[in-house]
Structure 1
Amino acid sequence: MKMRQIVDKTSSEILSEVLLLKRELMNLRFRKKAGELSNTARFKVVRKLVARFKTALAERSRKIDMNKGN
């Protein structure tokens, strides 16, 4: 997912996506330990998506804080 698509989402949508992605990471870890996981590159993709979503939230909160200061 591109950053532009993430920025267009609401904060609640972003938070729900982060929760889903974290759950997916947990499932990937379990599957890896069980030896069922064949696509280990998915770890990197999911971690980067979580980082993008969290970055969008942080930027949004920083922008709100700056507006309150003016």
Structure 2
Amino acid sequence: MDVIQEVAMSQAVWAICCIAMVAWNMRTSKTREDKLMEHLERSNVSQERTATALQSMEGRMDRMEKVIYKEEK
């Protein structure tokens, strides 16, 4: 029991645990970052399509307004 307590109180054990946690965190962070970048790229493509569609609709609305206002005069 004393040996277990000595090992648990040893700074080397806690240092190894901290180093292991940092290494694990760095590895999982890279995976998470890669997934996030993939999602961001898909979102950018989707937003570009939406922007193009909205620009097209804006042009159509402008033409419709010109026709409507021309008829009112």
What's the TM-score, normalizing by structure 2?
0.42
Determine which structure has greater relative contact order: mean sequence separation of CA pairs < 8 Å that are 6+ residues apart, divided by chain length.
1
Structure with more helix by fraction: 2
> Normalization by structure 1: what TM-score?
0.43
